[in-house]
Structures are given as structure tokens and as C-alpha cells.
Amino acid sequence: MAKTSKTPSKTAKAKTAKAETTSGLKGVSAVDRALSVLTAFQRGDGEVSLAELTRRTGLIKTTVMRMALSLESFGLIRRVDDGGYRLDAEVMRLAACYQHAFGLADHVTPVLEKLARATGETASFYTRRGDQRLCLFRVESANQIRMHVQPGDLRPMDKSAIAQVLRHFDRGRATAEIDTPIFTSGVTDPHSAAVATPVFGPGGALLGALALSGPVTRLTPARAEEIRPLLKTAGIDLTTACGG
């Protein structure tokens, strides 16, 4: 049987570092450990074994078990018969509360649908999550050839157009010299290209990156130049709608 590494993932390390440095304060270590267990669940997981949670979090098994008991008492996870764990109903309730309170989907989804219809490419909205970017909303292209990324998927903070927007405009940095939307081709995937622009909220805070993506054979540099004005206008309109 192959041995599994217990080395903490980069994401787990980043979460711990962020918890210790935000505003110069330290959080409660037990809470940090419990949340590291909860956030170790990934898209596509059904149930996750204790051994796998141990590997993903870098915690020892007894610690994971103690944290899981606390999370289970709040209905956030549930232990299944074979000893593994799955997310429970309270997570769904919290997600519904978040979406109801924030209402970002009500603003973003119509914009994505309009862009996808107008350009024939896949339209998406990404936010940053530590050293990764999260696909929050997505409307697929009507074309059969398209990139297969789903809402909830995490992608690297690489040199792609989407990652560049999230990196350059994060925390209100001065970016007057950056010409948006940004276009890149073949960065994350040699077969895909993307063009992205920032969306801001109240106080000029970055909400995320609005993007169009497609295969390099269709979303060429020339095609990107054609759709840049449309994407830029959509980003400005969405910024206004979100209070930016």
C-alpha cells in the first residue's frame, strides 16, 4: 500500500500564516485547527477519510478527530459509518445566508450571460483565495470546444490574465500604468486563452476579476482586441452596480 505524505499543503500553511499575521493579532489556535479541518474539504468530495484529512491539514489524527467532534456538534460535518467525514447541512445554510446577504450573484450572473452571448466565449468571475484564485460564477460558451472549469474550482495564481488582475489590483495598489483588460494565451493551459478586467466595490476594494476565456485557436490576440472594449465596459458597469 502506498504511503501518503503528512506534509501540510501550501494552502493550509497560507491559512495558518494569515491567521497569525492579520492586523498584528493572533487568533485562537484551537479555532484555527478546527477551521483547517472544515476548509480541507474540496469540490467533488463525497466523504473524506480521517487519513486524508490528516494529510490535507498536517494535523495529527487525534487532533483531527477532536476538531471533527466540535464541527459535528454544530452540524458542519458528519461522521459516516466507515469512519470518514462529509460536509453536513449547516454548511448549505451558511452558504445560502452568504449569498442572500451579499447578493453578488444577482449582479454578476446577468453580466456573464450577456458577455457569453455577445462573444461566444465562456464568461466567468474569479476572486482571490490566498495563493489561489477561485472561480465563483461562470456561464459557459455555446461552442462545443471550451475550457472545463466549474464554479468552486481553484486555479493557481500564475501569470494568466485573471491571476494578474487579482494580483495587481489587490489591496488598492496603484495600478494606473496597467492597461486593462489584460490578455494572455497558453499560460495555465497551453490550449486556453483569457482576457480579464477588474471589478471594484465600495471604497475601491477589489471584488474580483471579470473574464472571458476560450481555446487559443478561437480567442486569438486579434479576437481579444475586438472584445476588450466590451469586457471593459462590462467591468465598469458591474463596478457601478456593486457600489464601486
- For every residue of the chain, which 3-state class applies, written as one string? CCCCCCCCCHHHHHHHHHHHHHHHCCCCHHHHHHHHHHCCCCCCCCCECHHHHHHHHCCCHHHHHHHHHHHHHCCCEEECCCCCEEECHHHHHHHHHHHHHHCHHHHHHHHHHHHHHHHCCEEEEEEEECCEEEEEEEECCCCCCCCCCCCCCEEECCCCHHHHHHHHCHHHCCCCCCCCCEEEECCCCCCEEEEEEEEECHHHCEEEEEEEEEECCCCCHHHHHHHHHHHHHHHHHHHHHCCC
C-alpha gyration radius of the chain: 20
| Chain region(s) in the chain for CATH 3.30.450.40 | 103-241
Fold of 10-89: Arc Repressor Mutant, subunit A (1.10.10)
What pLDDT, on a 0 to 100 scale, did the predictor assign at position 22? 45
**Residue 49 grid coordinates:** 477519510
| Chain region(s) in the chain for CATH 1.10.10.10 | 10-89
Cis check: omega of the bond before 181, within 30 degrees of 0: yes
What pLDDT, on a 0 to 100 scale, did the predictor assign at position 238? 94
Q: Which of 140, 144, 149 is nearest to 119 (CA)?
A: 140
What pLDDT, on a 0 to 100 scale, did the predictor assign at position 110? 95
Output the tens digit of pLDDT for each of the chain's 244 residues. Answer: 444 444 555 445 555 554 444 446 677 899 999 999 999 998 778 899 999 999 999 999 999 999 999 999 999 999 998 889 999 988 888 877 766 666 788 899 999 999 999 999 999 999 998 888 999 899 998 776 656 688 888 888 999 999 999 999 986 554 557 889 999 999 988 999 999 999 998 878 899 999 999 999 999 999 999 999 999 999 999 999 988 8
Cα separation, 104 vs 243, in Å, equals 11
The architecture (CATH level 2) of 103-241 comes to: 2-Layer Sandwich (3.30)
Cα separation, 148 vs 94, in Å, equals 27
Cα 96 to the center of its chain, rounded Å: 17
What pLDDT, on a 0 to 100 scale, did the predictor assign at position 35? 94
What pLDDT, on a 0 to 100 scale, did the predictor assign at position 175? 55
User: For the whole prediction, is pTM greater than 0.75?
Assistant: no
- Residue 157 contacts residue 126 (beta carbons within 8 Å): no
- For every residue of 41-55, which 3-state class applies, written as one string? CCCCCCCECHHHHHH
Q: Which of 42, 222, 229 is nearest to 53 (CA)?
A: 42
What pLDDT, on a 0 to 100 scale, did the predictor assign at position 170? 82
What pLDDT, on a 0 to 100 scale, did the predictor assign at position 174? 47
What pLDDT, on a 0 to 100 scale, did the predictor assign at position 6? 45
Cα separation, 47 vs 79, in Å, equals 9
Q: Please report, as a single letter, which amino acid is at residue 62.
A: T
Q: Find the length of the chain.
A: 244
What pLDDT, on a 0 to 100 scale, did the predictor assign at position 101? 61
